[in-house]
Structure 1
Amino acid sequence: MTSAAERPLLFLDVDGPLIPFGSSYAHPPAATADASTPVDQGNPLLKRLDPGIGARLMALGCHLIWASTWMEEANETVAPLIGLPKLPVVQWPDVRAEKGPRGLHWKARPLVEWADGRPFIWVDDEISAMDRQWVAASHPGPSLLHHVDPTKGLDDADFSTLAGWLHALPPR
């Protein structure tokens, strides 16, 4: 078994992968840490969270990192509803102003910098062919840029793909 420092990174977006846009309510209500706190926390989209998905993500054995515009709010609101501990959060620099290849997602460069050559998975609903091409040319380690259908969110097929990629990684 690899140590925590050697585990692949998994950069996780919230909107789309965890909060699908295509269904209004597909999962049982997510549990809250405090029964007096409403599940939706003022955001009705939180009802779309699958309360079991945190355990499935943890079972992948990756070092999970929030890569979302939710920033620290992902730890405060989303993590407790899906059973995740507090996770590191990518702090986005003002990368939208930086020049890059046309079509490159503004998250790509900061994620490659954060990974610093380590194997990583980026789970997002906005990944493009340009992102895959740029990461392949810019990142010396293995990477999987996994596009999630935002109308469904992470599903069994996605978890199979992630687990298969992780299983095929050479030992470190």
Structure 2
Amino acid sequence: MNGPELRPLLFLDVDGPLIPFGATAREYPDGYPVYRSSSGRPKDVDNPLLSRINPAFGPRLEALGCELVWATTWMAEANLVVAPWLGLPDLPVVEWPEDVDDEEGRGGLHWKTRTLVELAAGRPFVWVDDEITETDRRWVADHCHGRRLLHRVDPRVGLTDADFATLAAWAGA
């Protein structure tokens, strides 16, 4: 018996992809762009970085047709703060294991990599993060045989039109 085909997962980090950081004054002489959300500021939130998130990204992420999942150290707070800003519903949140090996013990592998591959469990997935390395790509290629994309975003600029084009092309393949 064949059930409905599950949509690909999109594991989404917040800091870097959605909230750009680390640019020099030369790169942004007037500072980062500031956005206002039509859904308003979430209650009881006083986070000055929130205004760096382009609220238009919410509909663009939904349009990819993937199941969106927060893969961020913001954890459940992403649903309280970021999702309303983007006009998104509450999303599933990756619960990170507490016993993550130190970087030396992982051979340069990002601490999120194993957990995300395990959660995908063979399902197609894309991981959007600013800390993905070639070590992560090699490990995933060796341990995951399904369709996947590890997409690194430049944390200085966050998601761009080019990033969305890459994600859309992958999701539509």
Report the TM-score when normalising by structure 2.
0.86
Q: Does the C-alpha gap of structure 1 residues 89 and 140 become closer, same or farther in structure 2, counting only changes over 3 Å? A: same
1:78 has 2:88 as partner: no
Matched-pair contact (CA < 8 Å) for 1:13–1:66: yes
Query: Secondary structure of the equivalent of 2:128?
Result: strand
Instruction: Quote the residue 1:19 is aligned against.
Output: 19
How far off its partner does 1:95 sit?
Answer: 4.3
| Equivalent AA in structure 2 for residue 56 of structure 1 | R
Instruction: Quote the residue 1:113 is aligned against.
Output: 118
Show the 5 A alignment for 1:1-172. 6-21=6-21, 22=23, 24-33=31-40, 37=43, 41-97=45-101, 101-168=106-173
| Equivalent AA in structure 1 for residue 110 of structure 2 | H
**% identical equivalent positions:** 58
Q: CA RMSD in A?
A: 2.1
Matched-pair contact (CA < 8 Å) for 2:41–2:85: no
Query: Secondary structure of the equivalent of 1:97?
Result: coil
1:111-151 CA distances to partner (integer Å, 9 max, x unpaired)? 00000001000000000000000011111211100000101
How far off its partner does 1:101 sit?
Answer: 4.1
How many angstroms apart in 2 are the aligned matches of 1:131 and 1:164? 21
Size of the aligned set, in residue pairs, is: 163
How far off its partner does 1:92 sit?
Answer: 0.2
Q: Which runs of 5+ in 2 are unaligned?
A: none
Q: Does the C-alpha gap of structure 1 residues 100 and 108 become closer, same or farther in structure 2, counting only changes over 3 Å? A: farther
| Equivalent AA in structure 1 for residue 169 of structure 2 | G
Matched-pair contact (CA < 8 Å) for 2:39–2:87: no
